Amino acid sequence: MKVGIIGAGPRGILLTSQLFNQYKYRSDQSEELEITLFDPYGIGGRVWRTDQWSGLLMNTPADQITLFTDKSVNMTGEVYDGPSLFEWAASSEAHNYLMTNQYSQDLIEAAAKLGGSDYAPRPLYGAYIKWFYQELINQQPTQCHVDLVEDEVVELTEASTNQVSIKTANKDYSFDKVVMSLGQQDNYLNQEEQKLATYAQDNNLTYLAPTHPGDADLSNIPSSETVIIRGLGLSFNDYVSELTLGRGGSYMTNDDGSLSYQPSGREPRIVAGSRRGIPYYPKAVSEKGYGELAPAYFLTDEKMDAASVDGYLPFDKFIELLRSDMELVYYSLLINDRYPNKNATEFKQRFIKTDDRKSLLDQYQFAEEDILDWDYILNPFKDVKVIGTEDYQGILVNWLDNVTKDANQGSKTGPVGSALELLRDYRPIFRKIIADHRFSNDDYVNKFLRSFSSDNSFLSVGAPSLRSEQLSALIRSGLVRLLAPGMEVKGDNGWFVTAAPRRNADKFKASALLEARVPKANLDITANPLLESLVNNQLARTMKINVNGQDVGVSAVDVDESTDQLRNKAGFVQPHVYIWGVPLEGLRFTTNASPRPGVNDTSLQTADLIAAEVLGLKTAQDVDVN
């Protein structure tokens, strides 16, 4: 059998591993298995390239990242156990691998010093992927063979002979099965972005469209001049780091534990903002053990069943149950942290049982500033209507320092950070809610996808707390200014100009504008030639959901939900073509998360299922597909 895998990032390598596993232990091995991996960036793919700046950090603790399976995974293949990224980095094997393959001394030292709760440099994960792949090749079954083609696939077609044809710029290939294991892709610019790009070209300005920060060329951003950054999420942290630490700046620790920034003189002045006007919450320092996930006491199947109406869980009830779990964690840890005369265990028991939560909270006499206010959590500056940019920096620094202090207490100790950590721990619950179609189509499209997904990113997908400490120092140094909520950008009189007009009259101009966001998966506007060819050849379509009589696209590529086999324009399943990962965002939840050990990780489950499907073997039941 000939199998083509498009994409050699973590998912493509996981699938290769599971194909070996299924072939070796479950198939009759009556025919040889030939696998061809396609990726222009080689093993590791685009995001985890080993030639990118090592100052770009991962967004998951090192001991929560793996490519190996374990006994927790719902799968039919044999367990292929091995070290997490953290365990590998600390080993002599990793040291020898990095030395032998001539990785930089900085990366070798970073690997040696990496702690379990630390955030690894992205190139180190790339090295881990390459090492894992080499281990696979060293142990591949006798009748298996793998080739790597470092070219971009530009077209896929299905032949009448039950063969799948794919093309690169240099060659045509034919396979029995093809699996697209795609990660982040570029999109065509929207109308506003194209207008800004054209304006930049006409006025000799610099405009960086949405892309992965590791691919961005910032060398033409001049020092000491102003650069505008739009977006305050993960890409914002990457760009700020590259324009400060990446240009020779450094941080010093003050007597009170805060940081001060020491400039190199090569940095630009950064003006940044977003619609929300607030950086993402920092991630709490991980205190979780292997496979440890916080349990749900309210967002359970039993309570969701009881709250359902006509077979659907109202979105408002979902939020109520979720917030109840988060409040339980928050107040229990608040008691431990600030109310030594109260009993957290007793509070927890009473909170779970009570029907009158307000009365219970009143009995515990928490200080007014300690009462959890969800409006404040989602919009910390909701009462700030009009404020000058300079005054805004002061309240931002105060907020950043407070949430960072809480995050540094740890993911099982800091009240706020531990409560927000549930949004990561509950991802399997969210995925099951979606898979079980618990929401009405209206609630899913208009509330979960459009509202909850954004809030979830703001609350739980932020950078390590170190980045928030650094941002506080940069704001205090005057090198970075953040605009108040409601950022707007336009071209005016030969410059890019930005302001937050609903909050103040301050305006800032610059010759460079960076869009600090990664393109979202969207088949309708993708610039990936393979996905475009699928649409043009009527082999793929956007998944649509009927909402109040209208078909609404949810961006995801349409697939058979139980197998990830691609549906063509007419809606028919194509049995020889699979797609999984980031292009299914909207049908699935948080598809870009790295595999986590000990938690029945969805990517590990899905790789096992697709491998079994490809080889025509029986698959595991009740798999939480990615």
What is the dihedral angle through the alpha carbons of 99, 105, 107, 113, rounded to the nearest 10 degrees?
A: 100
Residue 318 identity (one-letter amino acid)? F
Span 149-161, mean pLDDT? Answer: 91
pLDDT tier for residue 200 given thresholds of 50, 70 and 90: very high
Mean local confidence (pLDDT), 5-22: 98
Q: Which amino acid is residue 217, in one-letter code?
A: D
Q: What is the pLDDT of residues 563-590, one digit of tens each?
A: 999 999 999 999 999 999 999 999 999 9
pLDDT at 158: 86
Per-residue pLDDT tens over the stretch 43-53: 999 999 999 99
User: Judging by DSSP bridges, how do beta strands 172-175 and 164-168 pair with one another?
Assistant: antiparallel
Mean pLDDT to the nearest integer, 159-183 = 93
Band the pLDDT of 621: cuts 50, 70, 90.
confident
* Per-residue pLDDT tens over the stretch 318-338: 999 999 999 999 999 999 999
Chain centroid to Cα 515, Å, comes to 18
- How many Cα atoms are found within 13 Å in the side-chain-facing hemisphere of 441? 12
Share of the chain above pLDDT 90, in %: 97
3-state secondary structure 205-263: CEEECCCCHHHCCCCCCCCCCEEEEECCCHHHHHHHHHHCHHHCCEEEECCCCCEEEEC
pLDDT at 126 over 90: yes
DSSP string computed for 179-194: EEEE----B---HHHH
Instruction: Average the pLDDT over 123-149 and give the result.
Output: 97
Query: Dihedral through CA 222, CA 227, CA 233, CA 239, nearest 10?
Result: 0
Share of the chain above pLDDT 70, in %: 100
CA distance 558 to 565: 9
Q: Distances from the Cα of 193 to the Cαs of 401, 402, 522, in angstroms? A: 34, 35, 16
What pLDDT does residue 35 have? 98
* pLDDT level of residue 23 (50, 70, 90 thresholds): very high
436 is written with which tokens? 């079980």
Q: What own/partner pairs with CB < 8 Å and gap ≥ 24 does 305-310 have?
A: 308/438
Question: How much is the average pLDDT of 391-395?
Answer: 97
- Does residue 622 carry a pLDDT above 80? no
How confident is residue 59, by pLDDT bands cut at 50, 70 and 90?
very high
Show the domains of the chain with their CATH numbers.
Answer: 2-187+521-614 (3.50.50.60), 191-280+463-515 (3.50.50.60), 301-460 (no CATH)
Q: Is 305's pLDDT higher than 90?
A: yes
Q: How many CA atoms lie within 13 A of 233 on its CB side?
A: 21
Instruction: Report helix, strand or coil for 395.
Output: helix
pLDDT at position 432, please?
Answer: 95
d(CA 334, CA 587): 37
Encode pLDDT of 444-497 as tens digits. Answer: 999 999 999 999 999 999 999 999 999 999 999 999 999 999 999 999 999 999
Per-residue pLDDT at 554: 92
User: Is the predicted pLDDT of residue 623 greater than 90, yes or no?
Assistant: no
What is the average pLDDT across 381-396?
Answer: 94
153-167, 245-259, 349-363, 427-441, range with the lowest pLDDT: 153-167
Which whole number is the average pLDDT over 223-231?
Answer: 97
b/e sequence 142-179, b meaning 16+ C-beta within 10 Å: eebebebbeebbebbebeeeebbbbbbeeeebebebbb
User: How much of the chain is helix, strand and coil, in % rounded to 5?
Assistant: 40, 20, 40
